[in-house]
């Protein structure tokens, strides 16, 4: 099967990954209402097609947090992405570097900060959770700064982990002991290409940044138990002040869905926010990104760089979110599917598809620059009398 879209890479990922890993990427919380809304609400936005405009020179480049990049996108943080392909985060970071867009390494990555930094020459972003082990958190912050990470993405919507039914059904969660390990091993054995490439040749799997506290031979059960025990439900805005003091570079809060929270972020010194519901993986029934974004962009768009994620499967979706007020878009499942289905080359291909789709969408809505993408390109928006 030759992939021509993100949907094709999703199918390739389903065929290649053990079930427990595919369901981990693909699933959302509870009945997945918000996961579906992210997709449906975004795709329901009709674009206003314009004709007879000179669109011979479409420019998709932009600047985020002082750095020029080829597209207004970044690869968002994906936990355990390195299990989708051999040393997967390194492959994805290299693809992002080649495309001149940022890559974001998750706190709970398979590859460590050191490994990713050794694999690329361009600075990348680092994502941080507020965890109870403040010593480990400070050590990761210091390591990220020392390695030259150019932005910190501080995830604030996970004081407790959401419940994902698919993880229980697949055996990733709730299947403890030898029975659970045997179930996952069988699923891996049913995907021999993955088992060889990732399970054997891709080792050792040390769960990267948390290896110092988990040890070298940590299983998935130990990892998820550590996550449950170390996410900190006591986190408040005061903790953001401490992070701001400890990090001198751009600070981006990820997981904001409320305009008042965005205003608090601005007042406490954040440089950006990501309007996000964690891909529908936390609070099922929360607002979709497309519904939450316009109010937040209106409230803080002049004070913060407003980014967004959730439901993005194409360059057309990137344009839609930017029309709603985002200055940049984080890709999540789109690059995770591509990594699983095609490795680093798959991630590079998805970024090429995003760019090509953006160029067509921009040309057919009559805009040639990223900064000109606005609500006027949505159907029902006020007409541009000067250009009509």
Tell me whether residue 349 is one of the annotated catalytic residues.
no
Catalytic residue among 10, 184, 278, 320: 278
Cβ-contact 144, 118 below 8 angstroms: no
> In 304-340, which positions are buried (b, 16+ CB within 10 angstroms) versus exposed (e)?
bbbbbbbbbbbbbbbbbbbbbbbbbbbbbbbbbbbbb
Cβ-contact 277, 257 below 8 angstroms: yes
Residue 181, classified by CB atoms within 10 Å of its CB into exposed (0-12), middle (13-18) or buried (19+), is: middle
Cβ-contact 233, 239 below 8 angstroms: no
C-alpha dihedral, 150 to 152 to 153 to 158, nearest 10°: 160
Q: List, in order, residues 6 or more apart from 246 with CB less than 8 Å away.
A: 138, 141
Q: Which residue do the tokens 């891996």 mark? A: 188
Handedness of CA 375, 376, 380, 383 (dihedral sign): positive
Which CB contacts under 8 angstroms, 24+ apart, belong to 233-236?
233/159, 233/160, 234/159, 235/130, 235/156, 235/159
Whole-number Å distance between alpha carbons of 163 and 160:
9
What are the catalytic residues? 278
């Amino acid at each position: 099967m030759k992939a021509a879209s993100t949907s094709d890479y999703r199918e390739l990922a389903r065929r290649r990954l053990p079930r427990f890993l595919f369901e981990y990427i693909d699933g959302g919380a509870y009945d997945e209402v918000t996961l579906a809304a992210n997709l449906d609400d975004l795709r329901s936005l009709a674009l206003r097609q314009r004709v007879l405009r000179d669109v011979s020179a479409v420019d998709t480049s932009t600047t985020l947090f002082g750095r020029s990049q080829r597209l207004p996108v970044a690869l968002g943080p994906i936990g355990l992405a390195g299990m989708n392909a051999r040393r997967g985060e390194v492959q994805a970071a290299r693809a992002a570097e080649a495309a001149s867009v940022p890559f974001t390494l998750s706190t709970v990555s398979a590859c460590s900060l050191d490994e990713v930094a050794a694999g690329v020459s361009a600075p990348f972003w680092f994502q941080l959770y507020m965890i109870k082990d403040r010593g480990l958190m400070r050590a990761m912050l210091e390591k990220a700064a020392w390695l030259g990470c150019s932005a910190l993405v501080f995830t604030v919507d996970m004081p407790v982990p959401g419940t994902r039914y698919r993880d229980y059904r697949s055996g990733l969660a709730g299947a403890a002991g030898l029975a659970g390990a045997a179930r996952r091993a069988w699923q891996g054995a049913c995907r021999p290409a993955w088992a060889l490439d990732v399970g054997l040749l891709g080792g050792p799997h040390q769960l990267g940044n948390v290896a110092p506290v988990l040890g070298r031979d940590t299983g998935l059960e130990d990892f998820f138990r550590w996550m449950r025990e170390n996410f900190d439900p006591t986190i408040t805005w005061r903790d953001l002040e401490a992070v701001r003091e400890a990090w001198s570079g751009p600070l981006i809060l990820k997981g904001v869905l409320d305009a008042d929270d965005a205003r608090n972020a601005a007042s406490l010194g954040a440089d950006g926010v990501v309007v996000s519901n964690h891909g529908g993986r936390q609070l099922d029934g929360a607002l979709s990104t497309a519904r939450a974004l316009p109010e937040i962009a209106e409230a803080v768009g002049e004070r913060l760089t407003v980014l967004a994620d959730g439901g993005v499967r194409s360059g057309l979706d990137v344009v839609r979110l930017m029309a709603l007020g985002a200055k940049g878009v984080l890709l999540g499942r789109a690059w995770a599917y591509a990594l699983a289905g095609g490795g680093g080359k798959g991630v590079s291909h998805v970024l090429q598809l995003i760019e090509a789709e953006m160029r067509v969408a921009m040309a057919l809505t009559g805009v040639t620059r990223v900064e000109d993408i606005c609500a006027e390109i949505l159907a029902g928006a006020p007409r541009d009398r000067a250009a009509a």
